[in-house]
Homo-oligomer: A and B are copies of this chain.
Amino acid sequence: MLGAALTVGAGVSPNGETGRPASTNVPGAEYPQVHADRRVTFRLRAPEARRVQLIPGGAGNGLGPGPVDMARDDSGHWRVTVPPAVPGFHYYWFSVDGFLASDPGSRTFFGWNKECSGVEIPDPGLTFYDLREVPHGEVRSFTYYSRVTAAWRRAIVYTPPGYDRDARRRYPVLYLQHGSGENELGWSEQGRVHVILDNLLADGVVRPMLVVMENGMVARRRDAPTQGPDGRPVRGNEAFAEFMVQDLIPAVDGAYRTRADRAHRAIAGLSMGAGQALQIGLANLDLFAAIGSFSGVAPETFDVDRTYGGVFRDRKETSRLRLLWMGAGTAEPPRILGMKQVSETLNRSGIPVVWFEAPGLTHEWQTWRLCLRDFAPRLFAK
């Protein structure tokens, strides 16, 4: 359970360390250890190596800005303790004589197009993503065939507590996308979407909903045209839009007890997934009435009447949106923070946008957990 890693009175290790194994470790693994002051000690065994480094996953990582040299001890272990980390989930890996590999002590989490190590730094002030004694929904693996990608696919579907009990009740659906290099497991494994929604439901602040998560790194089938009808090349995002509209939504509406209308269907995503949510949502207002952009990248130039396919030129059309929501961490790069200006421009143009900021946080899962906590309760108002 998150939050359990830090306990007052934690023992002191033989090395004088006061850390506890991270909640993200594999069972029995002593390292990484998280200290009460949020410093983190990493350790690995590589007796014959000459150079070993800890590599935080990306420049904006809450563990630090870049590679950190580790020091060898007499037992063939390499070790480093990094300064207090930002609370939340951080990707990392090691470089051992140039070999970039995960930490055998950590569970793996798909990110950066590979199975990454991850470390969870507790935030004693936040409990909304802790497993609590409340009714729990399920996280389901749903197998279906996609014609656009010409393959059997797996979607991850969160069903709220009680879904199986009343076989006549139907539910609204949130389509929720991960970021670049991640996959359909990101929101449950790294984001803890099911825990967050179970807690919000128990607190009575969110409506019961299904959440559908798919792999947004979608390629078209090999024989599909690589140019659109207008002659322009078809980008990955366009293939994903085609796949979602033609394959995923009908499959979900066929297999689950959904309320299959636009008022009860929303789309959101983080980073690359935010771009997909805006692109697909705005181009399909017949399908979606709510759109969420979590740490989306701002367009290089934003023009209300031209950007996003010019959809906002038709104010009557976009007034069908019940919720347009944008958020980011205040420590994110300028291209992400630029979405604040986009939201302000839209608001000035009479298009209501909710803008949300996660204070002090950057382009990481803690920001997106907080985005979800603010976004989900606004969905599917009666």
CB pair B139–A141 under 8 Å, yes or no, is: yes
CB-CB under 8 A for A115 and B26, given A104-B100, A143-B136: yes
| A131 surroundings in chain B (CB, below 8 A) | 143, 152
| A102 surroundings in chain B (CB, below 8 A) | 101-102, 104, 108, 115
Contact with B along A122-152 (1 / 0, CB 8 A): 0000000001010010111111110000011
Closest CB-CB distance, A195 to chain B, in whole Å? 9
Closest CB-CB distance, A272 to chain B, in whole Å? 15
Sorting the interface of chain A by its residue count into under 10, 10 to 19, 20 to 34 or 35 or more gives: 35 or more
CB-CB under 8 A for A46 and B96, given A26-B113, A115-B26, A133-B145: yes
CA distance A28 to B181 in the complex (A): 11
CA distance A45 to B151 in the complex (A): 31
Contact with B along A298-336 (1 / 0, CB 8 A): 000000000000000000000000000000000000000
Which residue of B46, B107, B114, B133 contacts A26 across the interface (Cβ within 8 Å)?
A: B114
| A194 surroundings in chain B (CB, below 8 A) | 141, 143
- A48: Cβ under 8 A from any B Cβ: yes
- A51: Cβ under 8 A from any B Cβ: yes
CA distance A29 to B145 in the complex (A): 23
Chain copies in the assembled complex: 2
Q: Please give me the residue from chain B that is nearest to A137 by CB atom.
A: B143
CB-CB under 8 A for A99 and B46, given A26-B113, A26-B115: yes
- A47: Cβ under 8 A from any B Cβ: yes
Interface centre among A97, A107, A255 (most CB of B within 10 A): A97
CA distance A115 to B131 in the complex (A): 23
Question: Which residues, 89 to 125 on A, are CB-close (under 8 Å) to B?
Answer: 94, 96-102, 104-108, 110, 113-115
Q: Please give me the residue from chain B that is nearest to A76 by CB atom.
A: B98
- A14: Cβ under 8 A from any B Cβ: no
CB pair A115–B113 under 8 Å, yes or no, is: no
| A142 surroundings in chain B (CB, below 8 A) | 138
Closest CB-CB distance, A67 to chain B, in whole Å? 14
| A381 surroundings in chain B (CB, below 8 A) | none
Q: Please give me the residue from chain B that is nearest to A26 by CB atom.
A: B114
Contact with B along A32-61 (1 / 0, CB 8 A): 000000000000111111111000000000
CA distance A28 to B113 in the complex (A): 8
Question: Which residues, 353 to 372 on A, are CB-close (under 8 Å) to B?
Answer: none
Q: Please give me the residue from chain B that is nearest to A255 by CB atom.
A: B164
Closest CB-CB distance, A126 to chain B, in whole Å? 18
Interface CB pairs A-B, < 8 A, 19: A1-B152, A26-B110, A27-B113, A28-B113, A29-B114, A49-B96, A49-B99, A50-B50, A52-B99, A96-B101, A100-B104, A102-B102, A105-B114, A107-B115, A138-B140, A140-B140, A140-B141, A143-B194, A164-B257
| Inter-chain pairs besides A26-B115, A94-B99, A136-B144, 18 sampled, C-beta below 8 Å | A27-B217, A44-B99, A46-B97, A48-B97, A49-B97, A50-B97, A76-B98, A96-B96, A100-B104, A101-B101, A105-B114, A106-B115, A107-B115, A133-B145, A136-B143, A140-B141, A164-B256, A164-B257
